[in-house]
């Protein structure tokens, strides 16, 4: 891109109006006094390839990808990072100066950094992690936990076959637990993660019994609407360390922003406030 072109970035999904990413990146652009814009784009699956082809010609340096395109977008990439390959999905695309499209996944990074920042005493190696759900977010969380050295992952999903697919892919440190037994696996877990949409505003509640939660567990929910889910409220009452899901959204955006705009942004209270506006 020529020096005098204003760098553009954005987020592609469908629907997209609810996305907090424009507020977040807009806040950082303003805070660091950078030229640039970040735009939400509602794009159907049928038009995805055509849009990705056009964006660099319009001055785009990169885009975030969200539901339902995270898997599909891999087909259009020239370069795919090891992380994105392992997770089987991409959330960050960069249009490189050489014309190649690079696909990466920063969800696992965002998950890990959120826990590191908001539960500073968290020790991933202290005991098993209990993971609820087996979708795309679970894949990123599992890859991140295994990479960090978790001794075991107890994985439970309403549809058992999806959990078993992740077990066969990620290996022997994963043990699949029946959904009706999900409450029991909390008794062993020092890290507990809800990667499902259960408990989100407008979605069914998470009905897993929580009385088995350990006081020394770190409990996090990837749902951030509401910020304090039923899972986090109950865990807090039981004396657990709790971390809400907003921080994962903020932290996963850091590597992308740095790649596109050349400055590594900080996730602080002002960043959180900007995303919640």
Residues designated catalytic: 70
DSSP string, 55-93: GGGGTEEEEEE-TT-TTGGGGG-SEE-HHHHHHT--SEE
Question: Rounded to 10 degrees, what is the CA torsion of 140, 260, 258, 34?
Answer: -140
CA distance 147 to 91: 19
And the tokens for 261? Answer: 């705009």
**Which helix (H) or strand (E) covers residue 13, if one does?**
strand 8-13
3-state class of 193 per DSSP? strand
Helix axes 107-118, 246-261, angle to 10 degrees: 120
The residue to which tokens 């699956």 are assigned: 45
Residue among 83, 62, 84, 60 nearest 74 (CA): 84
């Amino acid at each position: 891109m020529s020096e005098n072109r204003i760098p553009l970035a954005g987020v592609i999904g469908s629907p997209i109006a609810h996305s907090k990413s424009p507020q977040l990146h807009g806040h950082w652009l303003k805070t660091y006094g950078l030229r640039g814009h970040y735009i939400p784009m509602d794009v159907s699956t049928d038009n995805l390839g055509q849009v990705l082809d056009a964006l660099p010609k319009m001055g785009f340096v990169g885009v975030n990808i969200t539901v339902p395109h995270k898997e599909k977008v891999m087909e259009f990439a020239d370069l795919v990072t090891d992380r994105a390959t392992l997770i089987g999905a991409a959330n960050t695309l960069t249009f490189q100066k050489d014309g190649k499209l690079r696909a990466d996944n920063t969800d696992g990074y965002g998950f890990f950094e959120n826990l590191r920042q908001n539960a500073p005493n968290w020790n991933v190696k202290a005991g098993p992690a209990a993971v609820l759900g087996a979708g795309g977010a679970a894949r990123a969380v599992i890859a991140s936990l295994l990479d960090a050295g978790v001794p075991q992952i107890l994985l439970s999903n309403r549809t058992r076959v999806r959990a078993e697919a992740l077990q066969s892919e990620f290996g022997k440190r994963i043990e699949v637990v029946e959904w009706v037994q999900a409450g029991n696996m909390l008794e062993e877990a020092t890290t507990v993660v809800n990667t499902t949409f259960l408990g989100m505003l407008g979605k069914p509640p998470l009905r897993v019994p929580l009385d088995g939660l350990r006081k020394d567990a770190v409990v996090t929910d990837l749902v951030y609407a509401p910020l304090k889910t039923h899972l986090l409220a109950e865990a807090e009452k039981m004396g657990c360390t709790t971390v809400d899901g907003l921080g994962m959204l903020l932290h996963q955006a850091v590597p992308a922003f740095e790649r596109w705009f050349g400055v590594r942004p900080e996730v602080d209270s002002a960043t959180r406030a900007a995303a919640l506006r």
